[in-house]
Structure 1
C-alpha cells in the first residue's frame, strides 16, 4: 500500500479485504503487486526468524529498571505504555493483530444487533404494503461498478463514452450532483441498500432492500457479474442473499477475470419473462472495475489516441483509454437492458447508479479507488432514471436535477419511487420527493464533501 499509493494499510483497507471476493483480490494483486512489492514484503519477515533473540533482548533491557525481579510486571508496564501511546496516536489502527481481533468482536456485536432488529420487526407487526398492488410492476436497478460521472459524455466529458444515453437523454431524469458515501463497493452498497447511513452506520445490517421487497409481495432477483463476498454475514452479502433468485457469474478458476457484462443479458431476459406480477431485478455489473482492459470485448476498443491529462506518461494514456472503453461498453449494456424492459407493458422504471467513482489520472497521478487516498472523482457517480409510459409516479414526486444527494439514503429513494409503504420510509431522504431535505454530505471521518477537495 505504501509503495504503490504512499498510504498506510488502515482499517478501511482491512475491512474491504475481509469482505471482498476472490476475483477482486486476484485483480488487485495482478494490477499492483510485482517483484518489487514481494521483495520488500519478504524483508519484513526476516526479523521473525530471530524473534526469540529479539524478545530476550527486550526483556534484558528492562533489568535496568529498579524492580529487577518482577519480569511480568515490567513487561506489563511496558505493554500498557505502548498500547496507550498507540491508542491515542491512532497508530494502533494500522496494527494487523489489533484489526483482526477488533473485527471479530464487531462481527459478534453485529450479529446480535441483527437478531434484535429482526425480532423488533416481528413483534411490532410493521406493515409492508405495495400501493400499486393492482398494477403489474417491473423495476430494474442497475448497479455500475467504479464508474465516475467525470468520464461520461452525458455529464460533460469530452469523449463520446455514452452514445446510447446521448440519443435518449431527453427521456431520462439525469441527476447531476450525486456522490457515493465511500470509495469501496462493500462500504458504499452496504449503506445504499440498507437502512444504514453516515449518521447511523450500524443499521447497514438492518432490513436489506431485498428483504423489504420480499415482505411487500415482490419477487426479487439478484444478477451479478461478481463472485459472492468472502464473508457471508456481511451487510452486502445479506442484501444479495435475501433475493429469491440469485445468479453470480463467477468462474471456477480466475484467469485474468475476463468476465464481460454481456454474459448477464440472458439472465435478465429470464427474469423479465417471469410471469410474477411484481418483480424487482438488481443487476450488479462489473462495469469499469480494474483491470479495465478486461471489461469489454475487442470490438469496443474504441479509444486509442492520446487522451487529455496533465500526467504525461504512456501508462496514464493507456489506462485512461481502457477505462473510457469500459464506460462505453457499460453504456451499450444499459441500452440492451432498457430495450428489453421497454417490451414490458408494466409500471416500470430503470435506475442506474454506480457504487462509487474512480480516479484515472485526472486529479492525481494514480488509478483506482482507495478510501485512504480519496479524490473527488472517486466519489462522483452517475444517477439516471428512465420511466415507462405506464409508470405511476408518487403523488409527492419531484424532479430536481441539481439536488445534492449521497447514496447512503438510496434505500429510501428506491422504496419511495417503487410505491411501497412502511414505517421505516423517510421521504425526507428520498431524492424523488417534494419533502426532500438537504443534509450535509459527510465523507471519510466527518469531512464535508462540499469543501474537502477545495
Structure 2
C-alpha cells in the first residue's frame, strides 16, 4: 500500500480485503504487486527465521522475573499506557493484530444486533405491500462497477464514451450530482441495498432490498458478473443470497478474468421471459473494474490516441484509453438491456448507477478507487432512470436533475419508485419524492463531500 499509493494499510482496506472475492483479489495482485513489492515484503519475513531464538530468549528472560519485584505490574502499566497513547493518536489503527481483534469484536456485536432486528422483521407478515399489485411490474436495477460520471460523454466528458445513452438522453432522467458513500463495492453497496446509511451504519446487515421485495410479492433476480464474496455473512452477500433466483458468472478457470458483461444478457432474457407478474432484476456488472483491458472485447478497443491528462506518462495514456473503452462497453450493455425491457408492455423502469467511481489519472497520478486515497472522481457516479409509457409514478413523484444525493439512501429510493409501502420506507430519503430532505453528504468518517474536495 505504501510503495504503490504512499498510504498505510488502514481499517477500510482491511474490511475490503476480508469481504472481497477471488477475482478482485487476483486482479489487485496482478495490477499492483510486482518484483519490487515482493522483494520489500519478503524482507519483513526475515525475522521469522529467527523466531525460535527470539521466543527462547523471551522465555528465558521472563522466567527470571519475580512477582515480588513488581516487574509484571510495571510491565502491565507500561503496556496499558503505551496502548492508550497509540489509541489516542490513532497509530494503533494501522496495527494488523489490533485491526483483526477489533473487527472480530465489532462483527460479533453487529451480528447480535442484526439477529434481534431480523427476528422482528421475520415475525412481521405484513412488512411491506405492493400498491400496484393489480398490474404487472417489471423493474431492472443495473449496478455498474467503478464507473465515474467524469468519464461519460453523457455527463460532459470530451470523448464519445456513451454513444447509446447520449442518443437516448431525451427519454432519460439523468441526475447530475449523485455520489457513492464509499469507494469500494463492499462498503457502498452494503449501504445502498440495505437500511444502513451514514447515520445508522449497523443496519448494513438489516433488511436487504431483496427481502423487502420478496415480502411484497415480487420475484427477485440477482444476476452478477462477479464471484461470490469470501465472507457469506457480509452485507452484500446477504442481499444477493435473499434473491429467489441467483446467478454468478464465476467459472472454475477464468483465463485473465476475461468475463465480459455481455455473457449476462441471456440470463436477463430468461428473467424477462419468466411469467411471474411482479419481477425485479438486479444486474451487477463488472463494468470498468481494473484490469480495464479485460472488461471489453477487442471490437471495443476504440480509444487508442493520446488522451487528455496533466500526467504525461505512457502508463497514464494506456490506462485512460483502456478505462474509456470499458465505459463505452458498459454503455453498450446498458442499452442492450434497456432495449430488451422496452419490449415488455408493463409498469416498468430501468435504473442505472455505479457502486462507486474511479480515479484514472485525472486529478491524481494513480488509477483505482482507494478509500485511504480519496479523490472526487472516486465518489462521482452516474444515476440514470428510464420509465415505460405504462409506468405508474408515485403520487409524490418529483424530478430534480440537480438534486444532491448520496446512494447510502438508495434502498428508500428503490422501494419508493417501485410503489412499495412499508413503515421502514422513508420518502424523505428518496431522490424521487417531493418530500425529499437535503442532508449533508458525509464521507470518510465525517467529512462533508461538498466542501472537502473544493
Question: Which TM class, normalised by the smaller chain length?
Answer: over 0.9
Aligned to 2:222: 222
CA RMSD of aligned residues (A): 1.9
Structure 2: which 5+ residue stretches go unaligned? none
Aligned to 1:347: 347
CA contact (8 A) 2:194 2:411 kept: yes
TM-score, scaled relative to structure 2: 0.96
CA contact (8 A) 2:19 2:231 kept: yes
Q: What are the equivalent positions in structure 2 for 1:302-317 lying under 5 Å apart? A: 302-317=302-317
Quickly say closer, same or farther: Cα 1:8–1:388, change in 2 above 3 A. same
Q: What is the Cα deviation at residue 446 of structure 1?
A: 0.1
Aligned to 1:128: 128
Q: What are the equivalent positions in structure 2 for 1:36-435 lying under 5 Å apart? A: 36-51=36-51, 53-54=53-54, 69-123=69-123, 126-435=126-435
**Local SS of the residue matching 2:410:** helix
Aligned to 2:18: 18
Q: Deviations over 1:208-249 (max 9, x none)?
A: 000000000000000000000000001000000000000000
CA contact (8 A) 1:26 1:254 kept: no
CA contact (8 A) 1:143 1:283 kept: yes
Q: What is the Cα deviation at residue 71 of structure 1?
A: 4.2
Q: Deviations over 1:375-407 (max 9, x none)?
A: 000000000000001101011100000000000
Q: Deviations over 1:43-89 (max 9, x none)?
A: 111122234555677899999x9998444334323322321122111
TM-score, scaled relative to structure 1: 0.96
Q: What is the Cα deviation at residue 197 of structure 1?
A: 0.3
Distance in 1 of aligned mates of 2:171 and 2:340: 16
Q: What is the Cα deviation at residue 101 of structure 1?
A: 1.6
Distance in 1 of aligned mates of 2:58 and 2:184: 40
Distance in 2 of aligned mates of 1:42 and 1:71: 36
Distance in 2 of aligned mates of 1:290 and 1:42: 26
Distance in 2 of aligned mates of 1:362 and 1:187: 24
Q: What is the Cα deviation at residue 102 of structure 1?
A: 1.7
CA contact (8 A) 1:359 1:375 kept: yes
Q: What is the Cα deviation at residue 202 of structure 1?
A: 0.5
Q: Deviations over 1:293-327 (max 9, x none)?
A: 00000000000000000000000000000000000
Distance in 1 of aligned mates of 2:75 and 2:253: 48
**Local SS of the residue matching 2:257:** coil
Report which stretch shifted further, 77-86 or 301-310.
77-86
Distance in 2 of aligned mates of 1:124 and 1:241: 20
Distance in 2 of aligned mates of 1:123 and 1:137: 26
Q: What is the Cα deviation at residue 369 of structure 1?
A: 0.1
**Local SS of the residue matching 1:132:** coil
